[in-house]
Amino acid sequence: MNTTVRILDERTPEERDREFLPGMGRFWLLPWYDLHSRLAGVRALHDRVAALAGIAPGDAVLDVGCGTGNLSLAVLRAQPAAVVTGLDPDGSALRTAARKASRRRVPLTLVQGFADRFPADDGSLDHVVSALALHHVPEQDRTRFAHEALRALRPGGRVTIVDFGGASGHGRPGHGPQGHGSQGHGSRGHAARGHGGTGHDHSAGAGSPHAAPSPDGDLVRLLREAGFTDAREVERVEHRFGPLAFVQATRG
């Protein structure tokens, strides 16, 4: 098996000065991020995203807001033959993700960049996944994320997201099965990047100067407006920070 782990910096010169909110809201807290995530029981959320995505052997997967790599590694647990790329602006978090992938002897490509510009050619991806990484991204950049997902996915390719808020009535089937991450409080750390970045920390909260408004139905709407005809909330989990929604969409 190819177990190559690599980090690529695909930021433009302008993006190198672009601000983002680090994991857990402070750069110095990054060493405690994975412990915090484990204690929160957030792994179940990642595993549920991987299961809902239905990734097949050889599928190309982009994890947007990958942070320290927990969702990417969940995808590789579910489908070891997937070709996974993680995208995040935080170089320190990516180096942590690379060490974890190397210890597990799994192949992983990590790209330093932002949620509104994918490191992927047109029609080259089978899946775009994200866990708690978009609710602090400003709306204009979430809009670009949705258009980038449509551009980069092949026909039949799928977006699978778990985030705060969700559909709020846009295709929501009611409360889905509890227990898919319901024991975790959701502060995976993959949630916050200001000024168009991706990110990995809900703990920054609404009071952060970097925080965008909660999506609260925004993701389904933005995916539909980008051209996904079947964007919908497929499951919802209640937790102490509020509702978590699993959102999916397929490129026609």
Residue type, 200: H
The domains of the chain, with CATH numbers, are 5-250 (3.40.50.150)
Residue type, 202: H
Token readout for 65 is 């807001």
Nearest residue to 44 (alpha-carbon basis) of 133, 162, 138: 162
Nearest residue to 101 (alpha-carbon basis) of 75, 125, 127: 75
Q: What is the pLDDT of residue 110?
A: 98
**Angle at CA of residue 239, ends 237 and 242, nearest 5°:** 95
Tens-place pLDDT, residues 209-244 = 334 444 446 899 999 999 999 999 999 988 666 688
Tens-place pLDDT, residues 111-131 = 999 999 999 999 999 999 999
pLDDT by 10s per residue, the chain, length 252? 677 999 999 999 999 988 887 666 777 778 888 887 888 778 999 999 999 999 999 999 999 999 999 999 999 999 999 999 999 999 999 999 999 999 999 999 999 999 999 999 999 999 999 998 887 777 889 999 999 999 999 999 999 999 987 444 333 333 333 233 222 223 333 333 333 444 444 333 333 333 444 444 689 999 999 999 999 999 998 866 668 899 999 999
Residues 69, 75, 81, 86, CA torsion sign: negative
Q: At what angle do helices 139-152 and 218-226 cross, to 10 degrees?
A: 50
The predicted model scores a pTM of 0.82
Q: Is 186 exposed, middle or buried (0-12, 13-18, 19+ CB in 10 A)?
A: buried
